[in-house]
Structure formats: structure tokens, C-alpha cells
Amino acid sequence: MYLEHLSLTDFRSYAQVDLALQPGVTVLVGSNGIGKTNLMEAIGYLATLSSHRVSSDAPLLRFGTERALVRARLVRGDQTTVLELEINAGRANRGRINRSNPVRARDLLGICQTVLFAPEDLALVKGDPANRRRFLDELLASLIPHHAATRSDYDRVLKQRNALLKSARAGRFTAGHEATLDVWDQHMAAAGAALLHARLELVERLRPHLSRAYAQLTDESKPADAIYRSSLQNQMDDDGATAFGVPGQNGPAGAAGAEELRQLTVGQLTERYVQAFRESRKKELERGISLVGPHRDELDLILGQAPAKGYASHGETWSMCLSLRLASYYVMLDDARTGGSAPVLILDDVFAELDVQRRRKLAAIVAGAEQVLVTAAVDADIPEELSGRRVTVIPGGIDEQEQ
Ligand SMILES: Nc1ncnc2c1ncn2[C@@H]1O[C@H](COP(=O)(O)OP(=O)(O)O)[C@@H](O)[C@H]1O
Ligand SMILES: [Mg+2]
């Protein structure tokens, strides 16, 4: 698919901006701080309902405004769709599809599909596990839109269960609370099992693409892999410490554990959680938090014999981040639901971060995608492989003479 038009109202630095787009490569050039990322962020937000830069909506609204509008026209095969998203301060965001009546923002998920590369991606490897869980859940929401509902159900139950555990820790735990906790256990087990099942499947789909992308980017090199580690496998290890107590030693065991869980149905996983909650109840009551569940899981990224985190060089870390994004691109491409329609690739300011070799390799891999949007402060950062249409971003908008 490709975006044919993007229009923003009161989004970030833009009062109003219109950007006409075409399939193929488009490079947006403009000095730092001019608003390139703001444009890319808006497209990413339309796709995932979250920003790659901030975790709340407030910074997306132009200073002093209460409502931002993101509108896009997308073309998939011979079908054109107009998406509108209203981001509201203090009340629910709303969407519209082909000028329909307003729908929940969530109903827009899965329609605009993008894969966004950004300097913030370094956190995929170097950051805490929440970054990697978010990576999986966002990709799932693009592939299976109802996954977003599963995730928010889980978060709601988790919050309530934690509140109950906290009150128990404060010494106010009665038989009545015990019964309530039993009920929350059931809810959390069911929601957690659905989440875990989907993540395990997804990781299995990502793995071959990840190792292939890494090999493509680096020629030589160490095999790259990703192994999902559920807190069900190590529920006694309450800090969720890495599977690699000693590098390379627990890797295969972690893989075997994930594989075993992957064979289970959602119902069987639910039972596993109920059992695990029972076993960790004493500890949870002492600590006042939920110690087992998908919110404690990790995606171990592995290079050769060692985890990427803490072992990989800067260059290897970047290759791993890029490979994860490329892998999600290939998974979307393969997905039956998208019917082979390619997601839009967005490379926001990544070339400046890469050495010449990686730049050229990445450029060669993405150059043939249906639509590639690239931003850079200077032309010199863009490899020749990506010579395409140039758009100049100027203060408050786009240089119209080029449009
Ligand atoms: N909510 C907002 N309202 C108004 N301006 C904003 C808002 N958020 C960010 N900006 C401005 O947007 C600019 C950054 O734009 P950005 O797209 O990140 O630039 P770049 O071209 O370097 O990618 C900054 O000048 C910042 O002050
Ligand atoms: Mg930027």
C-alpha cells in the first residue's frame, strides 16, 4: 500500500500542512528541528495509535490547542481509503473511515500499515524489556487488530489485581480479599494466556526473517535470533533477570521453554497461569505486585552465543535494531490478511546514525518497497540507492514549488 496524501491540523509544530505523496522513494530534507519527524510521527500514529517518541498524546497537540487532526488517503491495490484521526485533549480519540460516522480510534488499527525506523530504535536492544514487549504488541495490533483490546483488557485486570495486592501488603487482607483475588487470577490468567499465545506465535514468525535480515545487513556474521522468555518459565526468579546467567548457557534452555509453551492452547496456558499465580501468591502478597504474567516477559535478542544487550558493539546493536524492523516488514508482507500488500516503510533520520556500509546495505534492501519515506537533515546522508523524489521541508510546511 502507499499513502497518496497526508494532511495535519494542529499536530505538533503544524497548524496546517498538506503533503502529496507517491509510491516509490520520497526523501524529505530539511534542517534539524524543522518538522520532518513530526510528519513521520503522524503517519506512525495513524498506523499504531502510539508515537515512537512519547507515551502520552499531549505533546502531539500543537501548543495551545485541544485537538489535532491527522488525515491520510491510502491506496491498496485498486482500493482507496480515507482515514481521519482526531486526537483530543481530555477525551477519547476518534476515527473516521471513508468519511463514515465517528468510530473508536482503535477501529483504525490494521488499516494503515507502516514500519517505522528511528534513532529511538536503539532502545529495542539497549532498553528495558518493556521496549521489546511494546515492539511485539504493536506489531500484533497491526496484524490482528483485536489484539489491542486483548492488551488493554490485560492491563486493566493487572492494575486492579496490583491494587488489591498492595492493600494486602498494607496489612488489610481479609478472607473476602482472598476470594476477590481468586476472581482476578482467573481474569488475568485468561487475558494473559491470549496475549502470551499471540506473542509466541509472532516471535516464531519473526525469527527466520530476523536472522536473514541480519545476515543481509552484515555479510559475515554471527547468527541473530530472538527467544521469547515467559515469566511462566522462571516464576521463581522474581526480578525477571536475563536468561543468560552465563552467556550462551541458558539460551537453548530458554528456546526449549518457549517451544514447549508454544505447543499449548490458550486454555492450557490459562491453566498454567492459574497454577503459577497460586504458587507465587505468598510472595506476591509480600511484595504487593503481580510477579507472573506477560507484563514480566522478555524477548531475548541473541547474537552468536551472547545476548545482544550488554554484549553487542554499537554497530551490531544498530544492525539488530534494523533487522527487527525489517523482520516486522517481512512478517506484514507475508500476512494472509494483508493479501501481500506491503506496509509503508518510514526511515526517520536513521541514515545519519549508520556507517557507510550499513547505509548502503539498508538502502539496497528497502529501495524496492512499494513506498519508502526517508528523512534527512542533509542530502549527503542519503545513499545513492535511494535517489527518489525530493521534498524540502520548510518552516511550518512543505516547499510548494516542488509539489
Ligand atoms: N506540540 C507541539 N507544538 C508546537 N511545536 C512543537 C510541538 N512538539 C514539537 N514541536 C516543535 O517541533 C520541532 C521539532 O520537529 P521535528 O519534526 O522533531 O524536527 P526534525 O525536522 O528535526 O525531525 C521543534 O521545534 C519543536 O519545538
Ligand atoms: Mg527528526
Task: Find where cell 526517520 sits.
Answer: 348
Helix (H) or strand (E) holding 5: strand 2-11
Domain ranges of the chain: 1-113+341-403
Question: CA-to-CA distance for 204 and 287, rounded, in angstroms?
Answer: 34
Name the pairing type of β-strands 79-88 and 67-76.
antiparallel
| Binding site membership of 395 for ligand 1 (Cβ less than 6 Å) | no
Q: What distance in angstroms lies between residue 395's CA and the mean position of ligand 1's atoms?
A: 10
Q: State mean pLDDT over 189-214.
A: 97
H or E element that contains 141: helix 129-143
Q: Are 119 and 52 in contact (CB under 8 A)?
A: no
Q: Which residue has the cell 476518534?
A: 94
Query: Average pLDDT of 272-278?
Result: 96
**Cell triple for residue 158?**
493487572
Neighbours of ion ligand 2 (CB under 5 A): 37, 349
Measure 401 CA to ligand 1 centroid, in angstroms.
Answer: 23
Grid look-up 534494523 returns 322
Nearest to 81 by CA among 101, 68, 100: 100
CA dihedral 167, 172, 173, 175 (to 10 degrees): -130
Distance CA 344, CA 329 (A): 9
Among all bound ligands, the one having the nearest atom to the CA of 35 is 1
Structure pTM? 0.93
Mean pLDDT of 211-240: 82
Q: What are phi and psi of 379, to 5 degrees?
A: -55, -35
Q: At which residue does the C-alpha cell 488499516 appear?
A: 111
247 CA → ligand 1 middle, Å: 42
- Tell me how far the alpha carbon of residue 27 lies from the centroid of ligand 2, in angstroms: 13
Q: Band of the pLDDT at 387, cuts 50, 70, 90?
A: confident
pLDDT at 344: 97
Please tell me the residue having the least CA distance from ligand 1 atom 15.
Answer: 35
Q: Is 36 in the pocket of ligand 1 (CB under 6 A)?
A: yes
- Ligand 1 centroid to Cα of residue 102, in Å, is 28
Distance 33 CA to ligand 1 centre (A): 6
The rounded distance, in Å, linking the Cα atoms of 363 and 40 is 18
Set of cell numbers at residue 13:
509544530
For residue 138, is pLDDT > 80?
A: yes
Q: What's the confidence (pLDDT) of residue 253?
A: 52
Residue 220 has pLDDT above 90, yes or no: no
Q: Which atom of ligand 1 is nearest to the CA of 34?
A: 21
Burial of 199 (0-12, 13-18, 19+ CB in 10 A): buried
Provide CB contacts within 8 A for 376, sequence distance 6+: 27, 28, 29, 349, 351, 352, 382
* 14 phi and psi angles, rounded to 5 deg: -100, 125
Distance CA 173, CA 182 (A): 13
Query: In 3D, which of 280, 17, 317, 332 has the Cα closest to residue 161?
Result: 280
Q: For residue 349, which atom of ligand 1 is closest to its CA?
A: 23
Tell me the best of 6, 12, 37, 70 to mutate to test the pocket of ligand 1, counting ligand atoms within 8 Å of each CB and taking the most: 12
Q: What is the pLDDT of residue 246?
A: 39
Using the mean position of ligand 2's atoms as its centre, give its distance from the Cα of residue 348 in Å.
Answer: 6
Q: Tell me, which fold does domain 1-113+341-403 have in CATH?
A: Rossmann fold (3.40.50)
Query: For the CA atoms of the chain, what is the radius of gyration?
Result: 22
Is residue 63 in contact with ligand 1, taking CB distance under 6 Å?
yes
- Nearest in space to 397 (alpha carbons), one of 12, 60, 116, 82: 12
In this structure, the strands spanning 2-11 and 14-20 are antiparallel
Instruction: Using pLDDT thresholds of 50, 70 and 90, give the confidence band for residue 403.
Output: low
What is the band of 173 on the pLDDT scale with cuts at 50, 70, 90? confident
Residue 37 Cβ < 6 Å to ligand 1? yes
Ligand 2 center to residue 402 CA distance, Å? 21
Mean pLDDT of 251-278: 87
pLDDT at position 209, please?
Answer: 97
Nearest ligand to residue 32 Cα: 1
Partners of 398 in the β-ladder: 393
Residue 238 has pLDDT above 80, yes or no: no
Cβ of 396 less than 6 Å from ligand 1: no
Residue 59 CA: which ligand 1 atom is closest? 1
pLDDT tens figures, 70-96: 999 999 999 999 999 999 999 999 999
